[in-house]
Structure 1
């Protein structure tokens, strides 16, 4: 086998490996506002930003108050979820100002390449 042909086969193999990584990529959380485990004043909106463009009609989030003074039962919080202008973030807007306590955001997204992922993060309101 010639050196050129051997080099070409190796180049094709490396290219295939690199391409397969891109094909199996999933959207990853780039940032959250508030940050995971942060203690903050009541935010008007909560944002989860991703590494890929989302299929917004198949993506969403739920907001739950998991701890509050004098209560032990988690409470789902009424909130609206929308996509950012670039469709790389979910923006959660609570229907009412958030009171003191701990909150969890459970999100699920599908990227434009149809990969679905889900996760959660939490924060505390002073």
Structure 2
């Protein structure tokens, strides 16, 4: 009987709809990964699934500055993060335009299914 039960469970998992097991993915961002942009005041990240805004956010670090090869990483603070009405887009409003340099953005979200996902990318400001 246990073999039958094991096979039934395995079959059930195999035929579940893909969306039940899907995790949200970053579909697009502005600035985009590896892009060079002019002094942004807002960042947007759009995911494939809705996420829980209060449990989601970003960390932004300036990792380099023109003319300063030994620039220590500098966390950017003071931004405001909101979720757009679609429930899939995070909008980050910066307190002022980002100065020229290179940046690492790390994101984390908690999906509607309570799973935490994270990722990141880099971009440059000219």
Q: What interval of TM-score do these two structures reach, taking the shorter chain for normalisation?
A: 0.7 to 0.9
Give the whole-Å Cα distance in 2 for the aligned partners of 1:24 and 1:115.
10
Cα deviation, residue 22, structure 1 = 2.5
**Post-superposition CA distance 1:39-98 (Å, at most 9, x none):** 111112111110000111111111111111225201111222111121101111111211
- Is the 8 Å Cα contact of residues 41 and 95 (structure 2) preserved in structure 1? no
Equivalent residue runs for 1:4-83 within 5 Å: 13=11, 17-19=14-16, 21-69=18-66, 70=68, 71-78=70-77, 79-83=79-83
- Is the 8 Å Cα contact of residues 27 and 115 (structure 1) preserved in structure 2? no
- Is the 8 Å Cα contact of residues 108 and 118 (structure 1) preserved in structure 2? yes
Q: CA RMSD in A?
A: 1.6
Point out the structure with max Rg over C-alpha. Answer: 1
Q: Equivalent residue of 2:97, what SS?
A: coil
| Structure 1 residue ranges, 4+ long, deviating more than 6 angstroms after superposition | none
Provide TM-score, normalisation by structure 2: 0.82
- Is the 8 Å Cα contact of residues 44 and 90 (structure 2) preserved in structure 1? yes
Unpaired stretches in structure 1, ≥5 consecutive residues? 1-12
Unpaired stretches in structure 2, ≥5 consecutive residues? 1-10
CA distance 1:18–1:31, shift in 2 (3 Å): farther
